[in-house]
Amino acid sequence: MLKTVLASCAAACALHGAALAAGHPNFTGLWQTPAFVPALKTTAGKTPPLRPEALKLYKQRVADRAAGRKVDDPIDACVPHGVPRLMFAPYPLLIVQSGDFVGMVQEANHTQRLIYIDQPQVEPDDPKWLGHSVARWDGATLVVDTVNNDHRTWLDKAGLPHSDDMRVTERLRLGPGGKTLTDTITIDDPKTYTAPWTTVARFNRKPGPMDLKERLCSRDHAM
């Protein structure tokens, strides 16, 4: 499956090379976060503004993990991380870009995410593990809109919850020399949070071949 996706991405990149040369940045490469982030905070360094019931659930998850009690972290059951948690996974992330889409393959469970450029967003009525992502260019920034996010995923290891109505807006931008990548992420979920909030995922480009190890979750060991 992974080889098929990469072959498709490579073919698309060759076909749409002219579109990439039109002035848009190219995120193609192997990237990795410099440090694992177990609990997301806002850009102000605060706990996201959870509504009372969501805050109660979050505190219970944090307390259970701290006490060594069983927690029902979805990725322990080998389901995809979801968005935006996938962007914080502490393993290499392969990005392959064409004029029409950005393909991402996270080494963790070889999870595949497709972001469709200049396509209309679908109706938010069919939740999926990774939602549905479309994007548009705002100068040198790729703005990604993701809806249809399945409420069963967590936003981080600590257990931040969300509803099916969550909308995730990401702003992907390369740093100087293309050596770094910043993903500014805004969560808008009125059912779970009292206001939209923003956090940031940062990546460093990994030199050398764009290879991923086989790091698959085994259901035999899932919780």
**What is the 3-state secondary structure of 104-167?**
EEECECCEEEEEEECCCCCCCCCCECCCEEEEEEECCEEEEEEECECCCCCCCCCCCCCCCCCE
**Over residues 108-133, mean pLDDT:** 93
At 188-217, the pLDDT tens digits run 999 999 999 999 999 999 998 888 988 888
Question: The pTM is what?
Answer: 0.88
Q: How many whole angstroms separate alpha carbon 165 and alpha carbon 163? A: 5
At 24-77, the pLDDT tens digits run 999 999 999 999 999 999 999 999 999 999 999 999 999 999 999 999 999 999
Q: Could you tell me the pLDDT band of residue 16, with boundaries at 50, 70 and 90?
A: very low
- The answer to whether residues 84 and 150 touch, using CB atoms and an 8 Å cutoff, is no
Per-residue pLDDT at 19 exceeds 50: no
At 171-192, the pLDDT tens digits run 999 999 999 999 999 999 999 9
What rounded mean pLDDT belongs to the chain?
A: 89
Q: Could you tell me the pLDDT band of residue 220, with boundaries at 50, 70 and 90?
A: low
The domains located in the chain, with CATH, are 2-213 (2.40.128.20)
Q: What is the signed CA dihedral for 90, 186, 94, 14, rounded to 10 degrees?
A: 180
